[in-house]
């Protein structure tokens, strides 16, 4: 669980540890990208801990910074991007503090990656069996590859091993990617929209597979997704991002049952299935902003139905509340309204709770 923090503090926290402390610690991370001759602030003072074996979901609209954060934890800030401030530690190692070889070694031993486009992550010129390597870069023996493929549900392992990526379906390719990721039982699995390119019929199978191996190997799982239902089902903690900032985080059920930040509440209201029979989903008005520099106001204020003049002129800190952290200047009023709305929703649904 993330510790309560004063986001305005300039004091760095202790590095992530392996002796009962967090596996990963993000401390004041800001990342900018160059676009159209100007810098865009993609991450703004992010502070986040991930415990060993914890399953954390990152949610928010496109452009909120979810994928940028997930990749930055592994040191992927490339192209026109640069780290402006802050630190990341994984298993006690400074992600941005070593040379290229140290970072490569850290990724190889501490991370497993499952990305959005499974076909695109595989080498199209090599058969599957020639794409499995251990953290030292050595080829993995065929019997071990076959075992890994069967573990992820690819029972005809010899055929899969002898295939090129384009000869596999999207679901099969994603299972291969998962097999590669779990080969060395990585302490942290990063899954960036792992099912968005797949048919709905196999999305649950892939997520079930990720969950099963996370539990079996006691690996932490960082799941980036637009699918709030999947986040609710598979994650213990939710981190809500907007305009490069964390605006709310806490235990999954606490946030889904009673979102406190107006943006979180708006996301929940837009979930498919919340509209009721014959109803319509509640779209969030307006568009996410493109942030060029640290804002000294609430970034969500132009879209927020509860915004006041104070919201438009003051930057909300990430406040530590029971069970969660929320960046909202009107959190007391919002909490009272959320409590009332939650009671009405439960009564209307006949006490319905978490989906099966």
pLDDT tens digit sequence for 114-149: 998 888 889 999 999 999 999 888 999 999 999 999
Band of pLDDT at residue 356, cut at 50, 70 and 90:
very low
Structural domain boundaries in the chain:
24-235, 245-270+289-348
pLDDT at 280: 75
Distances (CA, A) of 307 to 142, 301, 320, 331: 60, 5, 21, 11
pLDDT at 11: 38
Q: DSSP letter at 301?
A: G
The dotted CATH code for 24-235 is: 3.40.50.300
Lowest mean pLDDT among 57-71, 154-168, 199-213: 199-213
Q: Which residue has the higher pLDDT, 338 or 195?
A: 195
Q: Which residue has the higher pLDDT, 20 or 329?
A: 329
Lowest mean pLDDT among 182-186, 194-198, 287-291: 194-198
Q: Which residue has the higher pLDDT, 181 or 333?
A: 181
DSSP string computed for 56-125: EEEE-STTSSHHHHHHHTTT---TTEEEEEEEEEETTEETTTS-HHHHHHHHHHHEEEE-S-TTTTS-TT
Band of pLDDT at residue 200, cut at 50, 70 and 90:
confident
With a pLDDT cut of 90, the percent of the chain lying above it is 70
Mean pLDDT of 145-160: 95
The neighbour count for residue 116, using CB atoms within 10 Å, is 17
pLDDT at 352: 45
pLDDT at 19: 58
Q: DSSP letter at 47?
A: E
Q: What are 15's two structure tokens?
A: 């590095």
For the cut 60, the answer to whether the pLDDT of residue 348 exceeds it is: no
Band of pLDDT at residue 9, cut at 50, 70 and 90:
very low
pLDDT at 174: 93
What pTM value is reported for the model?
0.85
For residue range 58-112, what is the model confidence (pLDDT) as tens digits?
999 999 999 999 999 999 997 788 999 999 999 999 999 989 999 999 999 999 9
For the cut 50, the answer to whether the pLDDT of residue 6 exceeds it is: no
Q: DSSP letter at 166?
A: G
Alpha helix segments (H runs only) across the chain: 66-72, 100-110, 142-151, 157-161, 170-182, 200-217, 228-234, 252-257, 262-269, 331-348
């Amino acid at each position: 669980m993330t510790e309560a923090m004063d986001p305005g503090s300039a004091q760095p926290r202790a590095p992530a540890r392996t002796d009962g402390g967090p596996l990963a610690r993000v401390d004041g991370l800001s990342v900018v990208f160059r676009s159209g001759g100007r810098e865009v602030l993609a991450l703004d003072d992010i502070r986040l801990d991930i415990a060993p074996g914890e399953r954390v979901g990152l949610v928010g609209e496109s452009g909120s910074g979810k994928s940028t954060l997930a990749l930055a934890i592994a040191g992927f800030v490339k192209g026109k991007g640069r780290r402006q401030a802050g630190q990341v530690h994984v298993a006690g190692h400074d992600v941005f503090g070593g040379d290229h070889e140290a970072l490569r070694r850290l990724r190889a031993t501490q991370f497993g990656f499952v990305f959005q486009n499974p076909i695109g992550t595989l080498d199209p010129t090599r058969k599957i069996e020639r794409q499995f390597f251990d953290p030292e870069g050595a080829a993995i023996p065929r019997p071990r590859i076959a075992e890994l493929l069967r573990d992820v549900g690819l029972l005809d392992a010899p055929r899969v091993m002898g295939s090129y990526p384009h000869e596999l379906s999207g679901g099969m390719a994603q299972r291969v990617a998962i097999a590669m990721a779990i080969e060395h039982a990585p302490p942290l699995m990063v899954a960036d929209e792992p099912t968005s390119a797949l048919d709905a019929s196999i999305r649950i199978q892939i997520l079930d597979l990720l969950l099963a191996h996370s539990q079996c190997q006691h690996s932490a799982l960082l799941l980036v997704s637009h699918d709030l239902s999947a986040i609710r089902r598979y994650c213990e903690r939710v981190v809500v991002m907007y305009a490069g900032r964390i605006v709310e985080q806490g235990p999954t059920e606490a946030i889904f049952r009673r979102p406190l930040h107006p943006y979180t509440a708006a996301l929940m209201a837009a979930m498919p299935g919340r509209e009721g029979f014959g109803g319509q989903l509640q779209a969030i008005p307006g568009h996410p902003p493109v942030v060029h520099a640290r804002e000294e106001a609430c970034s969500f204020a132009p879209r927020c139905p509860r915004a006041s003049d104070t919201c438009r002129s003051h930057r909300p800190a990430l406040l530590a509340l029971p069970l969660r952290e929320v960046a909202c200047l009107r959190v007391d009023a919002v909490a009272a309204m959320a409590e009332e709305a939650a009671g009405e929703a439960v009564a209307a649904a006949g006490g319905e709770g978490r989906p099966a």
